[in-house]
Structure 1
Amino acid sequence: MNTLLSIETRNAVLLKMAVLLERERKSIIAINKTDLEAYKGDDISMFDRLKVDDSKVDEMIKAVTHLASQEDPVGVERFSFKHENGMQVYNKTASFGTVMIIYESRPDVTVEAAGIAFKSGNKILLKGGKESLRSNLKIVALWHEALKEFGASTDWVEYLKFNRTETQAFLEKPTQKVDLIVPRGGERLIAFVKQHATCPVIISGRGNNFVYVHKEADFDIALDVILNGKSKISACNAVDNVLIDKNLPNKQAFVKSLISKLKEIKVEVLGDDRISKEYGLEAIKSDAVWYEEFLDYKMVIGEIDSNQNTIAMINKYSGGHSSTIVTSNDAEAKLFMENVDNAAVYHNASTRFTDGGQLGLGGELAISTDKLHQRGPIGLQHLVTNKWYVHGTGQTR
């Protein structure tokens, strides 16, 4: 087990990482180009996540610099109690120990997620996808250079070059202690990890997110929120489903405008029975479509007759990620936000804000759709467990 590094050392490594990322910027982008050229798949969102350009490197640098400026999440007192026998009791945050991150195609995770885990005193095991291997190994080499500079063991950041079979074997019988696993990727990856892991797993479920246009919605806000929700199709906080209140005044004008704006940005628009008939759209094949996370230029529009039915529908079909109500009625918004069972609920704002940086956490390891032990974006302060410190003078019970 690695002895906890001082906060000064952890911050120094993070700041050094920022310097190294800047120094190696051209080299990282060039190596990533070889990963992009070798990628033979046709998944546009995978390709988008795999790509590293100048703005991605800027984000990586910003992530580690910001992490270095944040308070130490380890050893924070959460509770204290003076026992009647004189013992002093504290509950304080503590690092998990070893965190394994399994992810697809995103070299920025090798910086941001590893940085969050490292700052919170954890050893990191990185298992990236084969499509980003060259980019990831380059970034891990920089982690090792930064660690060595301050006399810290390179064990703190370890890259696992495993194929699927080796990953399964490691999950079922780890060759070293693993305290927490965070899979970042699609449904298949998450199901695979859940099936084989022998330690706690934080689930980042599907982001088939909903926008409900209530009958008292502002048209401009509704259009902006829906279109912004489709501005990055590879993101788990993108919008896939729009439910429109059948009592919306001037509903036809709104729906026609929405469809034409979506088609302008090359989004394929499907409709439920009522919407497809009325507006000449392709009809969905079955209600199972509402369960899907598209990660594509695709959206489903349906008609619904009340807020209560919208809540029930979202709770049935959504992956528990994010949903928005567009309305000028605060009581209806409150009803929706309190009863929709999602990690993030919005009133008159885009689901694209479900992101650690945007919600004030500075960055995120993943977005959890689980309820234990943290829900929504997992920031620095959530990548810790806790333990009890009890100081006595010989007390016995």
Structure 2
Amino acid sequence: MKLLNTTVKNKVLGSMMKIIDRERANIIKENKKDLEAFNKEDQALYDRLIVNHDKVDGMIRAIEEVREQDDPVGKLKSEVVLESGLKVTNKTAPFGTIMIIYESRPDVTIEAAVLAFKANNKIFLKGGKEAYNSNVVLEKCWHEALEANGLSKDWITLLHINRQETQEFLKHPPEQLDLIVPRGGERLIRFVKEHSTCAVLVSGRGNNFLYVAEDADWEKAVKVILNAKTDKISGCNALDKVLIDKRIPGYRDKVKELDKILEAAGVEVLVDRNIKQTLGQRTEIPNKDIWYEEFLALKIVMAAVDNVDEAIAMINEYSGGHSASILTENTDKAQKFMEQVDSAAVYHNASTRFTDGGQMGVGAELAISTDKLHHRGPLGLKQLVTNKYYVFGDGHIRT
């Protein structure tokens, strides 16, 4: 793959910012077609689908942020001269060709493409059919920006294929795919893993937990729980399960207070058997499967635990490995929780809603990876490269 000069890449991004701003009315008009055709009963997906002036401004900001970041390609990772005289240099290098599969969010068509392109990767974008019109107009903007700077529009390609065609594409891609990112739920991830023939980086599944320790500041805990659950229900970093330590002073009163606050915010509360003894009017979780479920809705499970060890064990068994938080005033307990919970992001006295590239200082993100290879957490510009060894000799042979 040809390595593009940083200046050329940044010129394309500058052109794209101007084109999107120029075309914003048309982008919003095309998005309205998608909104009118969408089933509004799925509020989380509907929220993700909306493109308004604020969203367009956000797209422009995302491109600008990436343009201002250092080019991640060709960065020196290590350099050593061996006893043999060989000089071994390790540098960052593009993946090559990336494919991302995502639902409903037209802004991903901007963020994924800008990150892939700045990191010198080609990208195939497989957006959901519910955002078809929005994605088509955004692809046209990308192609105009590329061709205006003398580059092929093949750097960024929106795939107009159905599920069956996607399956065939994964099995027999028209060119080598180096990385696939399925950004969605369990069904999508299973589908991609089953049919793909290259590396798959899992992203998108939340099912996030929060543990309220016996020494937690209750006022902090309530504020954090409410934010993590209600700030954006469609986010993969939204809260799904709250574990409350039975030893917290005023346990029953605090459980009742939290229940009332959540109810007032429109949150459906499900409970385990122990909490049911305090909140008799609440529905008890029907089976174990609910513990694995990501809700993406105004819905939460409230359960009781005996101690931090039980909380850690439950989180590691049931969570999606995305985000987990502990509310405690004991720093040693927080350290234990954060070290032993196996999640991409762990928090002390803070909302899980911060698991986001922009909020964590990464900038625009391709996805939130819950895999451990090659990267975990927000997948930003610096993470969209692999590495390559350059070995320099002078007729060296191995004996």
Q: Does residue 353 of structure 2 align to residue 343 of structure 1?
A: no
Runs of 4+ residues deviating >6 angstroms: none
Q: How does 1:1-397 map to 2 (within 5 A)?
A: 2-40=1-39, 42-230=41-229, 231-280=231-280, 281-397=282-398
Following the alignment from structure 1 to structure 2, what is the Cα–Cα distance between the partners of residues 365 and 18? Answer: 18
- 1:315-357 Cα deviation digits (max 9, x unpaired): 0100111000000001110110000010110000010000111
Comparing 4-13 and 158-167, the one that deviates more: 4-13
CA drift of 1:373 comes to 0.6
SS in 1 for 2:278: helix
CA distance in 2 between partners of 1:41 and 1:167 (Å): 26
SS of residue matched to 1:279: coil
Alpha-carbon distance between aligned partners in 2 of 1:162 and 1:41, rounded to the nearest angstrom:
24
Q: Is the 8 A contact 1:205 1:319 kept in 2?
A: no
SS of the equivalent of 1:395 reads coil
Mark the CA change 1:218 to 1:316 in structure 2 (over 3 Å): closer, same or farther: same
SS in 2 for 1:374: coil
| Amino acid across the alignment from 1:309 | E
Cα deviation per residue 1:140-170 (whole Å; 9 max; x = unaligned)?
1000111111101111001110100000001
Q: Is the contact between residue 255 and residue 278 of structure 2 (CA under 8 Å) also seen in structure 1? A: no
Give the partner amino acid of 2:286.
K
TM-score using structure 1 length: 0.98
Distance in 2 between residues matched to 1:246 and 1:113, nearest whole Å: 44
Per-residue CA deviation, residues 73-111 of structure 1 (Å, 9 max, x unaligned), is 000111111122322210000000000011111100000
1:205–1:320 contact (8 Å) kept in structure 2: no
Between 1:240-249 and 1:287-296, the stretch displaced more is 287-296
Find the aligned partners of 1:245 and 1:104 in 2 and give their Cα distance.
Answer: 37
Instruction: Please give the alpha-carbon distance, in whole angstroms, between the structure 1 residues aligned to 2:283 and 2:329.
Output: 31
Is the partner of 2:187 in helix, strand or coil?
helix
Residue identity opposite 1:382 in structure 2: Q
Q: CA deviation at 1:395?
A: 2.1
TM-superposition CA deviations, 1:223-268 (whole Å, max 9, x none)? 1111111111100000010000000012223222211111111100
Secondary structure of the residue aligned to 1:345 is strand
Task: Decide whether the 8 Å contact of 2:256 with 2:278 is kept in 1.
Answer: no
Q: How many angstroms apart in 2 are the aligned matches of 1:150 and 1:86?
A: 43
Cα contact 2:315–2:341 (8 A) shared by 1:
yes
Matched-pair contact (CA < 8 Å) for 2:183–2:204: no
Take 1:185 and 1:51, find their aligned partners in 2: how far apart are those partners? Answer: 17
Moved more, 293-302 or 40-49: 40-49
* Structure 1 position 386, deviation (Å): 0.6
Pairwise CA distance, 1:187: 1.3
For normalisation by structure 2, the TM-score amounts to: 0.97
State the alpha-carbon separation in 1 of the partners of residues 137 and 302 from structure 2.
Answer: 44
Letter in 1 for 2:12: V
How far 1:376 sits from its partner (Å)? 0.9
Contact 2:182 2:202 in 1 (8 A): yes
Displacement after TM superposition at 1:4 (Å) = 1.8
Aligned length: 396
How far apart, in 1, do the equivalents of 2:223 and 2:6 lie?
43
CA distance in 2, matches of 1:272, 1:29: 44
Unaligned runs of 5+ in 1: none
* Cα distance in 1 between the residues matched to 2:369 and 2:46: 23
Aligned residue identity for 1:53? N
Structure 1: which amino acid aligns with 2:104? Answer: S
Does structure 2 retain, via aligned residues, the 8 Å contact 1:210–1:314? yes
Contact 2:267 2:298 in 1 (8 A): yes
Distance of 1:299 and 1:210 partners within structure 2: 10
Q: Give me the whole-angstrom Cα distance separating, in 2, the residues matched to 1:112 and 1:80.
A: 33
Identity over aligned pairs, percent = 56
**Whole-angstrom CA distance in 2 between matches of 1:340 and 1:316:** 10
Give how far 1:205 is off. Answer: 4.9
Quick check: 2:59–2:110 contact (8 Å CA) kept in 1? yes
- For each residue in 1:49-77, what CA deviation from the matched residue of structure 2 results, as whole angstroms up to 9, or x when unmatched? 11111111111111000000000100011
Q: Which runs of 5+ in 2 are unaligned?
A: none
Q: Could you say what secondary structure the match of 2:113 adopts?
A: helix
CA contact (8 A) 2:73 2:385 kept: yes
Aligned counterparts of 2:373 and 2:152: Cα–Cα separation in 1: 31
The CA RMSD measured in Å over matched residues stands at 1.0
Q: How far 1:218 sits from its partner (Å)?
A: 0.5
Distance 1:15 1:236 in 2: 30
1:177 partner letter: Q
Deviation at 1:41, TM superposition (A): 5.9
Query: Match for 1:137: what amino acid?
Result: V
Find the residue that maps to 2:241 and give its secondary structure.
strand
Instruction: Please give the alpha-carbon distance, in whole angstroms, between the structure 2 residues aligned to 1:29 and 1:96.
Output: 33
Amino acid corresponding to residue 296 of structure 1 in structure 2: A
* Matched AA of 1:96: F
Code of the aligned partner of 2:19: L
